[in-house]
Amino acid sequence: MNDNTLKLFAGNAHPALAQEVAEHLKMNLGISTVKRFRDGEIAVNIDESVRGADVYIVQPTCPPVNDNLMELLIMMDAMRRASAQRITAVIPYYGYARQERKSKARDPISAKLTANLIAAAGAYRVICMDLHAAAIQGFFDIPVDHLSAMPILANYYKKKQFDGDIIVVSPDIGGVGRARNLADRLHCDIAIVDKRRPAPGEAEIMNLIGDVKGKVAIMADDIIDSGGTITLGAEALMNMGAKEVHVCCTHALFSGPAVERLTNSCIKEVVVTNTIPQRNDAVITNDKFKVLSVGSLLGEAIRSINNNLSVSRLFE
């Protein structure tokens, strides 16, 4: 790796993950200061030279989404004006990804607007993980390396001793590709929950495509937000004869009553990654939750890009 030109910086969104990436790459984080003026405006200082450097900024745009996004944009602008050769935005969780299309008249496509802002601020490349819709890659006019947490989740489940056959379940039609990816790695069948959503944030289970009777069901999703959909799906699977239900996802937003819902649900275990920082003690200390790190995956992606090597090997 060309250590003379690679520099890694962290925003305030998830410094712990950035430190994991730095440790994997056996390097120190770049020195920068991100603070606020009294009126709330973000102030950025880059406290070391980045002239001619290949700069990577680790900053998931998780809640508070607008603050973290604006911080990322200002950091990239500062790097560009300091003559960085290339700026890569490492965005493990891409905010506004669920607003990727017009579902009704006069809706914005906020995922595209966000992509435009990131490119305009100076990003040469973007690294992200498990976008809510894979088509968001096409919203960018710059290279996008779209990583998946499925290999990490699959490796975790391969080491577990399940009492019975397993089946991977997609909580909706849109997640079939994700479920198939995990099922292929675990060498098992898939099932699909067919639901309709009577109102935003609400889900009603309608039907199940597949047979879960007597099996250990693993529900795989990209995001768990309020936890309503996933807990309702788990109840439906148990009512349809599943032996037990496990849940995994890449992005654990866990907003509102999510942690309480999941804790009190019939779900056996909730496995998530650390693309979003978890500050809730119930997640950190409760045996029902397991948080897996994506730091080494992001580190290997950065190493490959910095050395102009293929990133596709990371999907294996």
Task: Report the catalytic residues.
Answer: 195
For residues 73 and 89, give the distance between their C-alpha atoms in angstroms, rounded to a whole number. Answer: 9
Pairing assessment for the beta strands 267-273 and 42-46 based on DSSP bridges: unpaired
Look up residue 8 and give its two tokens. 């890694």
β-partners of residue 257 are none
Which of 58, 2, 44, 101 has the alpha carbon at shortest distance from 309?
A: 2
Contact 61, 95 (CB under 8 A): yes
Q: What are phi and psi for residue 180, nearest 5 degrees? A: -65, -40
Strands (E), the chain: 6-10, 32-36, 42-46, 54-58, 86-91, 125-129, 144-147, 166-170, 189-196, 204-209, 216-224, 244-252, 267-273, 289-292
Contact 171, 229 (CB under 8 A): yes
